[in-house]
Structure 1
Amino acid sequence: MMSIGNVTLKVPRTRNGEFSTTLFEKYARCDQAFVLSMLEMVINGVSTRKVTNVVEQLCGKNVSKSFVSSLTQKLDPIVNAWAERPLNTTYYPYVFVDAMYIKVREHHKVISKAVYIATAITEKNTREILGLSVDHAESLESWSSFFKQLKSRGLQSPKLVISDAHMGLQKAIQREFIGTAWQRCNVHFKRNIIEKLPKKDTAEIRVMIKRVFEAVTIEDIRKFKDELINKFGTEARFEKALAILDEGFEDTIQYMNFPENIRMHIRSTNSLERLNQEVRRRERVIRIFPNTQSAFRLVGAVLMQYQDTEYSKRKSLMGKNS
């Protein structure tokens, strides 16, 4: 009996008893390869039902969904080892953090849980996924707990943390990373401003907003921002949009204090959002995770694969748009 079904073998009899079971070992290796193939299907977003159908077609034997689900538990030690690996051998000057929400069954009901993900750029200008956590909705305490987990693995305070403007997240960064600057995501910030503009007759102010964030020096950014405020500051219909611009401006131009060749890579969380979209594509097949551990297992496996297939291809960010 093997993990994927029954295999019937005739065992030869010899007079001197020198028969060895190397044939069994060969089948065991094939069995292991088959299991790993099934796990890869699951990680790549193939539903349990479809994996079950594939197994039945190949093996000619009915298997249950619970059997396929139990096989995925083989990922636990692999994912856990990756998620707990030391981070003290490399310095990460730029760290990106974000959270996405998934559905999980807990205590006989479906609840929403946050998946916290951190990525980074190393001193060699390569990207790396630092870790993840599945926890309750975003809060100061949840974000602090995630950062403490990363620090317990050896993460040193980065020069800059890039994120959206969630209040609990901002406070957690200040609490856990003393002396670290915070970069508010440039893309989210511009979107927040645009959303507060009137529906009509905004072409000119939109052009000037774009001009502000396309400036190549910090002096020009501040100059263009002041010109924008002076031109439209007295118009009541732009009051809300300009208030957002003024309030979050300095936090959104922190990237200008760093070397020019790295700025485009650290001004927003776009790279992390692309990673989240890849996780979402695989997660959408499952829809509702049976428990928190299964969510951690799948998301962790997807992140590991993404690190190996996407980030490892890029030896350096310099000279590349990412």
Structure 2
Amino acid sequence: MVDAGLLDHLMSKVDDGVALTGEGGLLPELVKAVLERGLQAELTGHLGYEKGDPAGRLVGNSRNGSTPKTVSTEVGDVDLATPRDRAGSFEPRLVPKGSRRAGGLDEMIISLYAGGMTVRDISHHLARTLGTELSHDTISKITDAVLDEVKAWQSRPLDEIYPIIYLDALVVKVRDGHAVRNKAAHIAVSVDLDGVKHVLGIWVQATEGAKFWAGVCAELRNRGIRDVLIVCCDGLTGFPEAIEATWSQTTVQTCTVHLIRAAMRFVSYTDRRKIAAALKPIYTAPTADAARLELDAFAASDLGNRYPAAVMTWENAWERFIPFLEFTPEVRKIIYTTNAIESLNYLLRKVIKNRGHFPNDDAIIKLLWLAIRDIEDKRARQRAKEKGLPPAERRAPAKLVEGATIQGWKKALGSLVMTFPERIAHYIK
């Protein structure tokens, strides 16, 4: 088209005021021409002879006119003349029978949904930009088509051992009968023996703590996990007990950053820097005994007396915090915080903020899974565009969670092997 000058001719039509998309637009007409020619070519292949070829008289089947059909596409609705054969045996693949959507329209809808648009928003967007009218029910069915894929992902087999699992939650609003209430959507991210992160699953908390976490742990064990060295989380009711009942040797570690934030809730803005400096000797102490001395010193100080609730926060979490102090600096650096999930959750909150509430738990899991996939796909496309450029000129973001590698993992793994030789050594090849 470019060499023949046809593209210039078409663009001149646009300059003359011809619309690109929508009813009567240039692009829908092009799509119509391409699809109809493609369907005719399919029918020719099915019959085995070209239109008008006398050899067709010997075949026993022939062309039999066409059937009108309206198909929704990425550039608007297109009216097609779908060819038929007399025997009724022609099954087009380009636009299958019963299909009312062509091209990447389904993928576009799923992408818009993963980006945070509601079903109603998507319907308005398609009508306004493409002139395509799709009902809310149709759009819901398109997004629901990924549920089987989500369920397969949520039940896929897992490795026998994960050195570290991080757990964090998002608060979402879900309709429950005639009321809307808050629920926690928990996301688990693991680090495998190669230091690569993976999203293990998404669970919406529907029951009280202990029972819910027992079910989650049982599911992970049934999917193949036989041992976990360290689980890093933020004081979840019933979770440590469920972990220890499932994997008795696992260390459940309270996220140090969460603990600092929890203490800061009671501190005035003007004193936050001072409190942060006073707390640092506690979580950087070489041993649990040294950390205890630092906490006692903080409690006895002027700041400790001014903010007793901050001191109590550390006192209450002490038993779940001190396992952190048993590890080397290389391991501490990795389990110090659940940032591996928090960066992801920050982007997921941006996706769900436009929604008033979700109709059910499956809708939450579906959207979060699609959003995670969409985030990683966008980053992968950005990296692909910069492929071949010198490292200093690359600006594309790295993998966020799925497939990302922990920095400094080799040293941390060496330390874990020395700490847990009987549990991890035979898994390392």
- Same fold (TM > 0.5): yes
Shift of 1:82: 0.9
Does the CA contact (< 8 Å) of 2:95 and 2:102 recur in 1?
no
Q: CA deviation at 1:81?
A: 1.0
Length-normalised TM-score, structure 2: 0.63
- SS for the counterpart of 1:102 is strand
- More divergent stretch after superposition (101-110 vs 78-87): 101-110
State which drifts further: 306-315 or 265-274. Answer: 306-315
Q: Is the 8 A contact 2:115 2:374 kept in 1?
A: no
Give the corresponding residue for 2:81: 9
Distance (whole Å) between structure 2 residues aligned to residue 311 and residue 204 of structure 1:
33
CA offset digits 1:238-288 (Å, max 9, x no partner): 544334434434532433434533322211222222222222221122221
The alignment partner of 2:235 has SS state of coil
Q: Which residue of 2 aligns with 1:266?
A: 335
Q: 1:81 aligns with which of 152, 155, 165?
A: 152
Residue of structure 1 in register with 2:401 after alignment: 311
Separation (CA, whole Å) in 2 of partners of 1:289 and 1:232: 44
Q: How many residues align?
A: 315
**C-alpha distance in structure 1 between counterparts of 2:363 and 2:272, whole Å:** 48
Moved more, 124-133 or 239-248: 239-248
Deviation at 1:58, TM superposition (A): 5.7
Give the % identical residues: 23
Q: Greater relative contact order (Cα 8 A, min sep 6): structure 1 or 2?
A: 1
Checking the alignment, whether the CA contact within 8 Å between 2:174 and 2:180 is kept in structure 1 is yes
- 1:114–1:138 Cα contact (<8 Å) kept: no
Give 2:296's aligned amino acid: I
2:172 to 94, 99, 102: 102
2:167 counterpart SS class: strand
Match of 2:196 among 116, 119, 126: 126
Give the residue type in structure 1 aligned to 2:151.
N
TM-score by length of 1: 0.81
Letter in 2 for 1:318: G
1:42-67 C-alpha deviation (Å, 9 max, x unpaired): 10112323322332246534222222
Q: Secondary structure at the match of 1:165?
A: coil
**Closer, same or farther: CA 262–30 of 1 in aligned 2, 3 Å:** farther
Larger Rg: 2
User: Relative to structure 2, which stretch is displaced further, 284-293 or 68-77?
Assistant: 284-293
* 153, 157, 163: which one aligns with 2:227: 157
| Contact 2:279–2:298 (Cα < 8 Å) also in 1 | no
2:300 corresponding residue in structure 1: 233
Q: Which runs of 5+ in 2 are unaligned?
A: 1-68, 380-399, 410-429
8 Å contact from structure 1 (residues 113, 137) kept in 2: no
Residue ranges of structure 1 left out of the alignment (5+ in a row): none
Give the whole-Å Cα distance in 2 for the aligned partners of 1:186 and 1:209.
11
In 2, the alpha carbon distance for the partners of 1:22 and 1:205 equals: 67
